[in-house]
Amino acid sequence: MSISLYNSLSRRIEPFTPLDPDRVTMYLCGPTVYNYVHIGNARGPVVFDVLARLLRRHYPNVVYARNITDVDDKINTAALEQGVEIGKITGKFAQAYREDMAGLGIAPPDLEPHATAHIGQIITMIENLIAGGHAYAAADHVLFDVGSYPDYGNLSGRDTEELIAGSRVEVAPYKKNPTDFVLWKPSTPELPGWASPWGRGRPGWHIECSAMSAAHLGDTIDIHAGGIDLLFPHHENEIAQSTCAHGGKVFARWWMHNGMLTFDGRKMSKSLGNVLLVHELLKLHPPEALRLLLLRGHYRQPLDWSEGAITQAISTLDGWYRVLRDLAEVAMPEGALPVPARVEAALCDDLNTPQALAELSQLADQARHSGSAEAKAALLGGGMLLGLLQQQPEAWLKRGESSVDEAHVEDLLQQRRAARAARDFARADAIRVELTALGIAIEDGAQGTRWSVLKQ
């Protein structure tokens, strides 16, 4: 089964063929670590985690890098405000990021390069750009000369003239062209900085991704991914500087962009202030429901976040986990779980996760009806590729029991059992009401009475 992926560069879905099938390379623009990330920031990592899982099934060696940008003016501002070294800030939030991503069931990337560990490569790359006539030093800065790269604007479909005409920012006087962007900028003594041929300074925003990508994955990589809001100018600038620094070699063969997460109909973003932190959401809701919600829309479409959508995702998972609970005693075949062809086919079709989830629902029905080990394995196998259904069914349905006094629940259930045996249904129903008030739902079934935690 071959994988087809939408390429922002060609604006069409193309059959994916890696440059070297023995080393498939993928880079995702990671966070700038100066505070906690919000759920919108997690959409790309979740989606491209699924892509990495899919690629690993097709190719023996996938190298997936997701960087940490740990040098940036926002970090500097936070460090100055708090009176600490930037490392204090970046260390804390890089770790929080790893934990948040793990909480969402995202497998760690193969590589997690840090910008500050690549200052040497950044300086070398800038020197190459200057030597090639693609960059120039001016007023203690180094700038990329957009005029030296005729293909600038290919990715975002912009032409330089329009950019100049529509420019909303004041143009720095030392720029040759208004669209030139900073590769290196000077640092004042109180700011972090590194020695360079242009004086003590620090890298501009875009260069670190180019340098880290080249350092770990090579001059040409297979897939470069990120949010659609990075398409311009970040990715456009990355293409320009990487291509020019590498003698015209193609930088990334596929460009993939996830759509924005919206909240109240607007893009969730720090500047608008309508953010929900992953850190907080993970405490409030079952993490897998958050992951399911992020996969319920196609990755290129906008996706609206809401409380109701979370509840809905929980209900869906409840249904699947109930099937698995009923089949808890059914032994699995030896070896790795099989991935159902229909789930895989959906993902191979430009990562159609909504279709894959529809297939999962069908598999759940089949497992419920047949009760067979094969059907159960198929459901779990499909879930695994999506990073779902990874919990024990009982643990899921009881929400980990963390907020429940299980002994008390069992005691009430025992009392109710006695009442029912005595056909004192009024008493039995009263106990059920009491349990409901505690947030416990019960089911009388062939195997006795079972309980679970009500949706939250």
Residues 252-311 within binding reach of RNA (CB under 7 A):
258, 260-262, 265-271, 296-298, 300-304, 308-309, 311
CB of 196 to RNA, least distance (A): 21
Alpha-carbon distance 455 to 329, whole Å? 25
CB of 58 to RNA, least distance (A): 20
- Compose the 319-348 pattern: x for residues touching RNA by CB under 7 A, - for all others: x--x--------------------------
Task: Give min distance, CB of 61 to RNA, in A.
Answer: 26
User: Which residues, 48 to 107, sit near RNA by CB under 7 A?
Assistant: 74
- By beta-carbon proximity to RNA, the closer residue of 77 and 131 is 77
By C-beta, is 127 or 326 nearer to RNA? Answer: 326
The yes or no reply on residue 135 touching RNA (CB under 7 A) is no
Minimal distance in Å, beta carbon 207 to RNA? 12
d(CA 252, CA 258): 16
Q: Does 4 bind RNA (CB under 7 A)?
A: no
Judge contact between 16 and 255, C-beta under 8 A. no
Residues 137-156 within binding reach of RNA (CB under 7 A): 156
Residue 231 interacts with RNA (CB under 7 A)?
Answer: yes
Report the residue from 119, 221, 230, 386 that binds RNA according to the rule CB under 7 A.
Answer: 230
Kindly write down the DSSP assignment for every residue of 339-368, as one continuous string. Answer: PPHHHHHHHHBT--HHHHHHHHHHHHHHHH
- CB-side exposure of 290: number of CA atoms within 13 Å? 27
Among 10, 361, 370, 372, binds RNA (CB under 7 A): 361
Give the nearer residue to RNA in terms of CB position, either 293 or 339: 293
357 binds RNA (CB under 7 A): yes
Report the chain's C-alpha Rg in angstroms: 26
Residues in the interface with RNA (CB under 7 A) total 78
Q: Shortest CA distance to 358 belongs to which of 295, 290, 286, 291?
A: 295
- In the complex, what is the shortest distance from the CB of residue 231 to RNA, in angstroms, rounded to a whole number? 6
Buried b / exposed e over 111-134, threshold 16 CB at 10 Å, is: bbbbbbebbebbbebbbbbbeeeb
The DSSP string of 140-185 is TEEEE-GGG-TTTTTTTT--HHHHHHT--SPPPTT-SSTT-EEEEE
Chain centre distance of CA 49: 7
**Nearest distance in Å: CB 204, RNA:** 9
Residues 170 to 229: which contact RNA by CB under 7 A? 205, 226-229
Nearest to 244 by CA among 149, 177, 159: 149
Contact with RNA (CB under 7 A): which of 134, 216, 253, 368? 368
* Binding to RNA, residues 104-133 (CB under 7 A): none
Residue the block writes with tokens 């023996």: 60
Which one, 27 or 136, has the nearer CB to RNA? Answer: 27
* DSSP H or E segment with residue 274: none
Tokens of 2: 């071959």
> CB of residue 336 vs RNA: minimum separation in angstroms?
26
- The nearest distance, CB 27 to RNA, in angstroms, is 12
Judged by CB under 7 A, the residue of 110, 127, 140, 365 near RNA is 365
Torsion of the alpha carbons at 144, 148, 153 and 155, rounded to the nearest 10: -80
Identify the bridge partners of residue 7 per DSSP, sorted by sequence position.
Answer: 12
The CB-of-428 to RNA minimum distance in angstroms stands at 4
Q: Among residues 229 and 374, whose Cβ is nearest to RNA?
A: 229
Which structure tokens are listed for 83? 């009176």
Residues 392-421 that bind RNA (CB under 7 A): 420
